[in-house]
Amino acid sequence: MNQPVSQKLFFWTLVVISIITLSAPTLVVLGASLTSGNIIVFPPDGLSLKWYEALVEKQELQDAFIRSIWVAIICVFISLPTGTLAGIALTKYRLRKGALIQTYLLLPFTIPLIGSGIGLMLVFGEVGVLGSLWPVGVATAVINLPFMIWAVSSSATGLDPDLELAAQNCGAGPVQTFFYVTLPSVMPGIITGSLLMFILSLNEFLVSLLLVDARIVTLPVQVYNSIRSIITPDLAAVSVVFIAVAMLAIAVLDKLVGLEIFLKSK
């Protein structure tokens, strides 16, 4: 379509501002991690990888990273089956009290994170499991569950009920129908949802902050604690780990389902 010049100008000005705002922190952190000086300055003192080498020495950062990965794995392990089943059920069946169930399942989004975090902290504290890592994984699964349900249910709307009937007509029982017809047709949603859950859980800061103690800090909390003392470039090098994981996730997502899936209308 031919757009008038004024429209192009207006839109593109805002788009360029947005692109700069979106990318600036990432680019700067990348740049800062490569500095050869001891403080972060612009223009940089010179390039070096010495802050990455310094990471090898930092046992507590490595431990925090591994803990964060565990938390993310636990989160996906819990939310994948839970969210998939719920997403399919919500889409396939016209449920009695469907609206009520939907509102209920959206609670993790409508309740502020600080509220959910403190509530879960009190619950886990009551049971006496605070201080281990798995409650953090469970908590991140709870607070992000709607993302998983959502991803699955939006790809389940494309599921043709006739296909399932056809499978049953050919002699497939309910289990076979589920694994060979229903599940493959919502696979893009499951992949998207699991990746989202993994990344969000890996990056989860506030709920981690509330649920961990000094012995089991996760990486975002570790970075937060360090930011508040002194800012040194080794922190930038750690942050690049997050950036690298994010890039990897985007690449995988694009390869497997295509980023354009997020532009589709339901």
Partner 1 sequence: MRRNLSSYPLMWRLMDMLEAIFKKIWPKGGGFWSPYLMLSPAILLVGLLVLGLGYIGDASLRTLDTSTFLFSEEWSLTNYERALIEPFIRSVIWRSILGATIVTMITLLLAFPYTYVMVRTRSAFLRKFLLITLFLPFFIGQVVRAYGWLIILGKQGIVNDILGLVGIEPLRMLFNYPSVLFGLIQYMFPFAVLMLAPALTAIPEEIEAAAESLGASWVETMLHVIFPMAKSGMIGAGLVVLTLSLTDFAMPAILGGGTQDFVANAIYDQFFRTSDQGFGSSLAVLLIVIGSFLVWVVFVLVGAGTLAMGAKDK
Within residues 230-259, the interface with partner 1 by CB under 8 A covers 231, 235-236, 239, 242-243, 245-247, 249-250, 253-254, 259
User: What would the x/- binding string for partner 1 be over residues 29 to 48, using CB under 8 A?
Assistant: x--x------xxxxx-----
The dihedral over CA atoms of 151, 154, 158, 163, expressed in degrees to the nearest 10, equals 60
Window 83 to 102, contacts with partner 1 (CB under 8 A):
83, 85-95, 98-99, 101-102
| Least spacing, CB of residue 53 vs partner 1, in Å | 20
Query: Is residue 72 a contact residue for partner 1 (CB under 8 A)?
Result: no
The token duo for 57 is 């020495």
| Chain Cα centroid distance, residue 228 | 25
Window 104 to 133, contacts with partner 1 (CB under 8 A):
104-116, 118-123, 126
Complex with partner 1: residue 106 or 187, whichever CB lies closer: 106
Q: What does DSSP assign to residue 158? A: T
Query: Is residue 52 a contact residue for partner 1 (CB under 8 A)?
Result: no
φ, ψ dihedrals at 163, nearest 5°? -60, -40
Query: Is residue 14 a contact residue for partner 1 (CB under 8 A)?
Result: yes
Complex with partner 1: residue 57 or 126, whichever CB lies closer: 126
Residues 11-38 as b/e (b if ≥16 CB within 10 A, e otherwise) read: eeeeeeeeeeeeeeeeeebeebbbbeee
Q: Is 222 helix (H, G, I), strand (E, B) or coil?
A: helix
Query: Is residue 184 a contact residue for partner 1 (CB under 8 A)?
Result: no
